Amino acid sequence: MNGCGNKARRQFLGGAAAAALLLAGRPAWAAAQREPRWPAPPRPQSPRISHVIEQLGRKRDDVYSWMKFIPTDGERHRGNLPGPVAKMLAEENAYAEAVLKPVRAAQGALVEAMLARSAGSVQAPALERDGWAYSSAMPAGSAHPIYSRRKVGGAAETLVDESARAKGQPYFRTTGHQPSPDHRYFAWAEDVIGNDRHRIVIRDTVSGDLRTLVDKDAYGYGGLVFAPSSQWLFWIWRDARNRPTRLYRTSVDGKTTALVYEEKDPAIFMGVKRTAADGFVALTLSGPETAEVRLIPATDETGDPRVVWPRQSGVRYEIDEWDGALVATTDADDAFDMQLLRLDPGDFRTLATLVPHRAGTPILQIQPFKAALVRLERADGLHRLVIQRADGSEQSIAFDDPAYAIELPGEQAYTAPSVMIVHESPKSPRRWIIVDLSSGKQTVVQQQQVANFDPDDYEVERLMAPAPDGEMVPITLLSRRGMVKDGKAPLLQYGYGAYGVNSDPLFSIPALALVDQGWRYAIAHVRGGSEKGRRWFLGGRKFSKRNSFTDFIACAEHLCGHGYSAKGNVVAYGLSAGGLLVGASMNIAPTLWGGVIAKVPFVDMLNTMSDASHPLVPLFRPDWGDPLAEPRAYDYIASISPYENVRAAAYPPLLCTAGLKDDRVAYWEPAKLVAEVRHRSTSGNPAMLLTDMDSGHQGSADLTSEYREYALFWAFAMRCVG
């Protein structure tokens, strides 16, 4: 798919497919479903081998423990799998492919429709810094972006063509793209394995040299930053267990590398950044309930980092700089939804409170500028932007949509007179808006281009579902305008509900493709996220985790009770910790769901949280509990873990995915769940596992692969309830 001719052809064919398939109001293949809904090839028969585990005076028999494989050295890959594991994964993939064969035509049509709507769209407008404008764009027919820059008013200069770098790689994903403060260098991190272990590449724009500064084991997500002088790159290293544990400093010529700091506590995570006015490099060491920031001043880049506040259990904070001082975003003194404090940059004492704590109005992010301190916060569950000026005046920016999201991009110039934000909603494509910091005037500078799309064809609703304990759970619902509430429409319900991560109501071309089939698309904002502030998170955490599941079920029941869908016509979808959500909800109410989609799902909770060598277990014990040391935690996790709680019931069709190289949620978690559901289900519905043998927790970052996966999920859902 290259060139304008191919683009036009793809848009025409995609549009034709959309007209024939997506606007018909029902699946085009439904009339042909006189044969059984699902093929019935022989099911894999994973052996049940007794493996009794004694722990805290309790016993359990993990009959599928043999599925777990961790190599003694290096990464897990096709070539080093034990025979029984390789056989199991091959048989599961073959079985899933056979069962899913009838949905492949629909999947292909959906992919074409998605690509037709998104072909050639620019990803982001240019951000200007010191007379340079940096941007990225997705060329027509390409699955990867090109990053470029230009002098304001000058010609574009390519910094990295990701399609060229991805060529020949079975897996390719990048992150951390950034220019040096002096604009001579451009760096990024890339994963060509699939296990989130990055190499760091740097381009010298003067000489044209492109070199790998760090060849392996770097952490790319918030793990690299140029020093203020542009002479060093600070980067984070991952140990053999994939934990970020060291901060290094490497000269931009690659000749000198020095260890800056090493963290010994496995329950601490690391991130590094430059503060807004380039006064410091900030190393943030954090856990779910603690934090510590160490600063390296621009005046002493090779010196030892200084601790702002020593870590203390129950106190979280981050540091930036503004108006000649430091700014701390912190929950100290029971400010659980965060407050902003002004600190002395020399001795770190508190000088003033910039924004006091307001329960239920969490501060999510700050972006300092010379002219104002911009913060993103949440009020009544929705984003708003606040411009706070040095004279104490404030101005709020919000939108009238029933549900929407605001993004505050990083890497904005401290001296800029305006802030760039991104606004979107489930029916409104991304709009990049410049907001003047003095007047608050908004100017739309770019909008995501979406072909064959009219926002007036869709409707977004914000609903509230009553939970069993009386809490009201927000729901964002996307539908075709004019759909009647007669209970006949199928519905896909997405949820996550963990770690305080919000499921924001974003614009999604895949979601539109599903809704164009006559479906409704719902986001259940269950407890465990932070949509209503930190207390909403704590209400779905640790010994309150069951609330996440009952919230999710309550949302589906509320939608069915009000005619948006009907029991058995709702398909549940979640990924990672959201896989735990849908897996547990499936166990509690198996006949509510028409189908369940669990992407790389965290469903073997008890065994994983009992594995002290797992890279994330020490970090997330405050979120889930420690079944190695706490009897109460053991019993609670055992009572909710999806794998541990499969029972004899009429389970819906289940589709799970996994990545062989995933170190966060390993393939054996969904493999165990699928085998146990297949063993105990009384419905005869298929339970399937599809394992990507070349990826980890995330798939390769190209648009076609992303859409192909969504299209498979949607086609599976349509087959479930068609």
pLDDT in tens, 349-408: 999 999 999 999 999 999 999 999 999 999 999 999 999 999 989 999 999 999 999 999
Going by pLDDT thresholds of 50, 70 and 90, the confidence category of residue 319 is: very high
pLDDT at 22 over 90: no
Distance, CA of 171 to CA of 195 (rounded, Å): 10
Token duo for residue 697: 């927790």
Beta bridge partners of 443: 434
Minimum mean pLDDT range among 152-161, 252-261, 337-346: 152-161
> What pTM did the predictor assign?
0.90
3-115+453-721 carries CATH number 3.40.50.1820:
yes
Instruction: List Cα–Cα distances, 84 to 206, 223, 604, 662, in angstroms.
Output: 54, 37, 20, 19
For the chain, the domains span: 3-115+453-721, 360-450
* Residue 121 confidence (pLDDT): 59
* Residue 703 confidence (pLDDT): 84
Average pLDDT, the chain: 92
* Residue 19 confidence (pLDDT): 34
**Residues in Cβ contact with 337 at an 8 Å cutoff, skipping those fewer than 6 apart:** 331, 357, 358, 359, 360, 361, 362, 363, 533, 534
Three-state secondary structure call for residue 487: coil
Neighbouring CB atoms inside 10 A of 139's CB total 17
Instruction: List Cα–Cα distances, 122 to 54, 327, 445, 446, 703, in angstroms.
Output: 56, 34, 12, 9, 13
Task: Work out the percent of the chain whose per-residue pLDDT is above 70.
Answer: 94
Going by pLDDT thresholds of 50, 70 and 90, the confidence category of residue 701 is: low
Minimum mean pLDDT range among 12-26, 576-590, 630-644, 696-710: 12-26
Neighbouring CB atoms inside 10 A of 664's CB total 19
Find the mean pLDDT for residues 89-100.
98
Length of the chain: 722
Backbone angles phi, psi at 251, to 5 degrees: -65, 150
Going by pLDDT thresholds of 50, 70 and 90, the confidence category of residue 606 is: very high
Task: Work out the percent of the chain whose per-residue pLDDT is above 90.
Answer: 86
Going by pLDDT thresholds of 50, 70 and 90, the confidence category of residue 514 is: very high
Residue where the block lists tokens 């305006």 = 418
Residue 514 amino acid letter = L
Distance, CA of 132 to CA of 435 (rounded, Å): 20
